[in-house]
Copies of this chain bind each other. A is one copy, B any other.
Amino acid sequence: MNTVIIGSGNVAYHLAKAFKERSLPVSLFGRNAGELERISDELDLPFYTELPKADLFLICVSDRAVEEVSLQIPYQDALVAHTSGSLPREALKGSYRKACFYPLQTFSRKQKLNYSEIPIFVDAETPEDANVLKHLASEISGSVMEISFEQRKYLHLTAVFACNFVNHLFARAKEIADAQEIPFRYFLPLIDETVKKIHHANPEDVQTGPAVRNDKTILERHEKLITNTETAKIYDVMNESIRTMYHLE
């Protein structure tokens, strides 16, 4: 199966690299000839600035550009998938078989990734197309799953809690440490260990800290230490949520 990856951003780059590493036939198409040439040179892959024919088109552009790009594909016998976590298949507006091929990872150009560990979620109009995409995805990744658009919404929501909000907690934590001139890097081993733990345990079973210990002395002390309004609200809501989860009084 011949695939064309559309786009020249981070998702396009990493998917192209993953295809190349597995010797899957792939070429690149996009508007940014300079970027395409750079990726094409680095990965030793062909690129086009006029759309070639292919069995599969993977649209790797920002959510708001998907519709416009999707209208440029004239091949009715092609399978076309976007790679967005947030859009339905129907965001694709051309006359062809529509699908979604969503790799769950945060991509930046410079980072090295182990593609076999990146989960890929697929969603297609027919079981046949779903199988084609699942087969292709499993050439790259050891974690492949078919999910509906409805489930994909929850997938995205879960990622917001487990990643976006986690990063924001790090940002608020760093503010507290910075004000005391304690280098934030001193917290990295503890953070690493916190994450290592949930590779083998249910997070609910390994909760630690003053809230789950119901240590009111420390909770009151902490409340007095916090000066930032948003940080104080986070402290209250998180502790309340912990108390509720563990049925504490």
Contacts and interface: CB of A to CB of B under 8 A. Distances in A.
Question: What is the predominant secondary structure among interface residues of chain A facing chain B?
Answer: helix
Contacts of A45: none
A9 to B, nearest CB: 14
Contacts of A206: 167
Interface in A138-196: 143, 145, 147, 151, 153-174, 176-177, 179-180, 182-183, 185-196
Interface in A103-119: 104-106, 108, 111, 113-114, 117-119
Contact of A169 (B157, B166, B182, B202): B166
B210 A187 contact: no
Interface of A: 86, 104-106, 108, 111, 113-114, 117-119, 143, 145, 147, 151, 153-174, 176-177, 179-180, 182-183, 185-199, 202-204, 206-212, 218, 221-222, 225-226, 229-231, 233-235, 237-238, 240-242, 244-245
